């Protein structure tokens, strides 16, 4: 195989994503962090290679360079063989930039250093101009915290209040969902040898339990992080100044608890905390605790009740009937108001997930609860709205349809692993799911597929096709697996009220970029393998014609292997999705490239006595290498089963372009529930 340099591979990937668009060498150079001259040299070197594999690089004076594909199948095979399909230069560059900024912020804030631009640019192997761009982005990033980047002679440093620096440090370094919190604690513990975070946790637990202040696991971790950071900063001679709090704060339970915690820590670390640090810890306890006060806030309860009545009248959602929701919101709002008054920002590690899975509900909560008189005077960050949304999500869980989804679990032959997965699914979804059976892939009984709603499999079934959704999971059923199933259940069975349509768990815009991606995906899979049958033919004739199309650029024995594998699949189970849709496919992948042969038969063909009028044939040929896009299309075929209107439109399509524009609606429908 020809050896392609990494930067040349990046250049090819960039040309593929900019296919049929002219891009100047200067633009390409900027995207790849290369010189204009180097890019032109690489383009010249790659020209003959790309031409030998079904493409060509066209240059045009004043416009730049453009990749044109002459033989789609040959060019896709070239991309597969050289592992170029999944390269994403933009994301890689983004990751590099994020890593640089993380390193710079670490120097400026955690290590309290002053940095020299010229020296640092040499250490990071980037230009001074690029480093200055990173610094500019950092300035914008820290500005909301009241921090600025200042320059003294040739050295840069961060200027601002110590309180603001700590807020940013906790928010940026210790709330990254991609890194385990224990790693953060271990990192702080290495920097802070005075006391372990285990000791801090024990001290906080003892005093909070004694005072009957209840803290969740996440809140406890936040307090431990705060104290670890405080001790480290104090050891470096950095303390909070000018922390203004009312005298009445000293009369609160939280102040007394903070005092006891500080006293115990001082005995371990051997030095005293300034009074400001004790007050700062008091603020954190006040903002994070759910200590139940006896003087129930009737005014707040009344305001919330009136708001839930308004939600019911304007949207039909019956949150008003949920007393547990009302009490939970009240108990959440009290410490939240303290946080808002003291300008303490509580980071929500679940915010992105909440927005991704329940954006419409998030916006509903934000829109209505911002009307509460007690909240109107504050500017409230999305992290806080996210926490409030969780209360409403919990309420929705109780309002959902109690009908259980019927599930088939597919495992490898090991009975132990099958039982492990079954037990974990039952433990997580006992109220939502009924497990019909647990079987190995080759033990599947065709009739059972008619009795289930979806499949949970620990075996990779990406190259297989079923007429119900399939979720590939770990045998240990990880949290990400749980979220996939939960999202699917929510999209199907949500019951909020008798007079409203369910809230969709995802709201996605049909961005032009995504639409272009879907169109290109369909072109790659089926543009050359589309057949509209306009005259009477037998089942065998249509299948043979589709196989001839799919055999293009494959091995000589491809067709025979496909026939044998499709026969094996027929023995294994049904390939009929409905009375009019059939999806023949192999038990094991045969081809080099993922392909789908599509036959549209407006007048129908006779398959057998049970299926006398087949009008759609989707012959799927998975790749032996990788199948990144097949799953989306097969899910769309499942959506086609009950969409008679789309079926009618597809039967009228005269060519592949017309078919594609209609079929995209099914993919977009599936995409909106991903």
Average pLDDT over residues 177-206: 58
Q: Tell me: the pLDDT tens digits for 320-359?
A: 877 778 877 887 787 778 778 777 676 676 788 888 888 8
Please report the pLDDT score of residue 402 as a whole number.
Answer: 42
**Domain 6-87 coded CATH 1.10.10.10:** yes
Other CB atoms within 10 A of residue 534 CB: 11
CATH number of the 172-288 domain: 1.10.1790
Q: Tell me: the pLDDT tens digits for 481-526?
A: 888 888 777 654 333 333 343 333 333 334 444 555 677 778 878 8
Q: Tell me: the pLDDT tens digits for 76-98?
A: 778 777 766 544 444 444 446 67
Give yes or no for a contact between 380 and 337, defined as CB atoms under 8 angstroms apart.
no
Q: Which residue intervals of the chain bear CATH 1.10.1790? A: 172-288, 298-399
Q: Which of these ranges, 371-375, 496-500, 509-513, 613-617, has the smallest mean pLDDT? A: 496-500
∠ Cα 404 406 407 (to 5°)? 130
Q: Which of these ranges, 14-18, 189-193, 209-213, 662-666, has the smallest mean pLDDT? A: 189-193
Please report the pLDDT score of residue 485 as a whole number.
Answer: 86
**pLDDT band per the 50, 70, 90 thresholds, residue 651:** very high
From the number of C-beta atoms within 10 Å of its C-beta (0-12, 13-18, 19+), residue 640 rates as buried
Higher pLDDT, 150 or 77: 150
Say how far apart CA 6 and CA 18 lie, in whole Å.
18
What fold does the segment set 91-160 form as a domain? Arc Repressor Mutant, subunit A (1.10.10)
Mean pLDDT over each residue of the chain, to the nearest integer: 76
C-alpha torsion sign, points 489, 495, 496, 499: positive
Nearest to 114 by CA among 145, 62, 149, 78: 149
Does residue 185 register a pLDDT over 90? no
Q: Tell me: the pLDDT tens digits for 252-301?
A: 888 888 889 988 888 888 778 777 777 777 877 775 554 444 444 677 78
Please report the pLDDT score of residue 195 as a whole number.
Answer: 75
345-369 burial, b if ≥16 CB within 10 A, otherwise e? bbbbeebeebbbbbbebbebbbebb
Does residue 436 register a pLDDT over 50? yes
C-alpha torsion sign, points 261, 267, 268, 269: positive
Higher pLDDT, 650 or 513: 650
Class (C level, CATH) for 405-493: alpha beta
**pLDDT band per the 50, 70, 90 thresholds, residue 314:** confident
**β-strands 581-582, 595-605 pairing:** unpaired
Q: Which residue intervals of the chain bear CATH 1.10.10.10? A: 6-87
CATH number of the 512-671 domain: 3.40.930.10
**pLDDT band per the 50, 70, 90 thresholds, residue 250:** confident
Does residue 128 register a pLDDT over 90? no
Say how far apart CA 491 and CA 498 lie, in whole Å.
17
Does residue 230 register a pLDDT over 60? yes
Please report the pLDDT score of residue 148 as a whole number.
Answer: 92
Q: Tell me: the pLDDT tens digits for 17-73?
A: 776 678 888 888 888 888 888 888 888 888 888 888 888 888 888 888 888 888 877
Nearest to 461 by CA among 586, 350, 314, 301: 586
Q: Concatenated DSSP letters for 3-44? A: ---HHHHHHHHHHHHTTTS-B-HHHHHHHHT--HHHHHHHHH
Say how far apart CA 246 and CA 341 lie, in whole Å.
12
What fold does the segment set 298-399 form as a domain? PTS-regulatory domain, PRD (1.10.1790)
């Amino acid at each position: 195989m020809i050896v392609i340099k990494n930067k040349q591979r990046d250049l090819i990937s960039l040309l593929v994503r900019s296919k049929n668009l002219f891009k100047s060498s200067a633009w390409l150079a900027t995207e790849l962090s290369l010189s204009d001259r180097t890019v032109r040299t690489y383009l010249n070197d790659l020209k003959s290679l790309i031409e030998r594999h079904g493409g060509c690089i066209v240059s045009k004076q004043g416009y730049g360079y453009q990749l044109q594909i002459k033989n789609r199948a040959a060019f896709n095979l070239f991309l597969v063989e050289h592992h170029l399909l999944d390269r994403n230069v933009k994301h890689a560059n983004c990751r590099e930039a994020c890593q640089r900024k993380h390193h710079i912020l670490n120097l400026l804030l955690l290590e309290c250093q002053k940095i020299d631009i010229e020296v640092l640019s040499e250490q990071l192997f980037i230009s001074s101009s690029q480093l200055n761009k990173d610094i500019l982005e950092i300035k914008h990033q820290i500005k909301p915290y009241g921090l600025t980047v200042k320059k003294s002679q040739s050295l840069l440093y961060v200027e601002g209040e110590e309180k603001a620096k700590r807020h940013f440090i906790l928010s940026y370094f210790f709330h990254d969902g991609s890194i385990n919190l224990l790693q953060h604690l271990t990192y702080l513990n290495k920097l802070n040898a005075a006391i372990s975070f285990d000791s801090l946790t024990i001290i906080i637990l003892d005093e909070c339990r004694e005072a009957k202040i209840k803290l969740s696991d996440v809140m406890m971790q936040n307090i431990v992080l705060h104290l670890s950071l405080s001790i480290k900063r104090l050891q470096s001679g950095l303390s909070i100044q000018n922390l203004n709090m009312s005298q009445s704060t000293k009369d609160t339970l939280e102040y007394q608890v903070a005092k006891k915690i500080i006293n115990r820590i001082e005995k371990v670390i051997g030095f005293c905390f300034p009074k400001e640090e004790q007050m700062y810890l008091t603020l954190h306890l006040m903002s994070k605790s759910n200590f139940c006060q006896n003087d129930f806030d009737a005014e707040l309860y009344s305001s919330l009740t009136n708001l839930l009545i308004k939600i019911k009248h304007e949207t039909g959602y019956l949150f008003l009937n949920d007393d547990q929701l009302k009490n939970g919101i009240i108990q959440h709002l009290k410490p939240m108001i303290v946080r808002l008054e003291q300008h303490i920002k509580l980071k929500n590690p679940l915010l992105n997930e909440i927005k991704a899975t329940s954006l419409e509900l998030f916006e509903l909560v934000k829109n209505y609860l911002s009307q509460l008189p007690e909240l109107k005077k504050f500017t409230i960050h999305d992290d806080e709205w996210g926490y409030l949304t969780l209360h409403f999500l919990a309420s929705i869980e109780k309002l959902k349809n109690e009908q259980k989804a019927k599930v088939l679990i597919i495992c490898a032959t090991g009975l132990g692993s099958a039982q492990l997965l079954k037990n974990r699914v039952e433990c997580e979804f006992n109220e939502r799911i009924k497990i019909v059976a647990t079987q190995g892939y080759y033990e599947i009984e065709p009739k059972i597929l008619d009795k289930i709603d979806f499949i949970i499999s620990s075996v990779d079934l990406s190259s297989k096709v079923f007429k119900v959704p399939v979720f590939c999971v770990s045998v240990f059923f990880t949290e990400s697996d749980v979220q996939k199933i939960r999202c699917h259940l929510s999209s199907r069975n949500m019951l909020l009220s008798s007079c409203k349509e369910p809230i969709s768990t995802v709201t996605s815009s049909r961005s032009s970029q995504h639409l272009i991606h879907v169109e290109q995906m369909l072109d790659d899979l089926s543009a050359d393998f589309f057949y509209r049958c306009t005259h009477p033919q037998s089942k065998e004739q249509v299948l043979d014609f589709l196989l001839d199309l799919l055999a293009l650029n494959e091995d000589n024995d491809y067709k025979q292997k496909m026939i044998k594998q499709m026969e094996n699949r027929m023995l294994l189970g049904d390939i009929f999705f409905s009375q009019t849709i059939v999806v023949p496919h192999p038990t094991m992948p045969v081809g080099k490239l993922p392909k789908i042969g599509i036959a549209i038969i407006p007048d129908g063909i006779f398959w057998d006595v049970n299926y006398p009028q087949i009008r759609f044939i989707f012959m799927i040929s998975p790749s032996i290498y990788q199948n990144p896009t097949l799953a989306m299309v097969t899910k769309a075929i499942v959506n086609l089963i009950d969409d008679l209107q789309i079926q009618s439109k597809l039967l009228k399509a005269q060519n592949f372009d017309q078919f594609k524009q209609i079929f995209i609606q099914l993919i977009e429908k599936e995409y909106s529930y991903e």
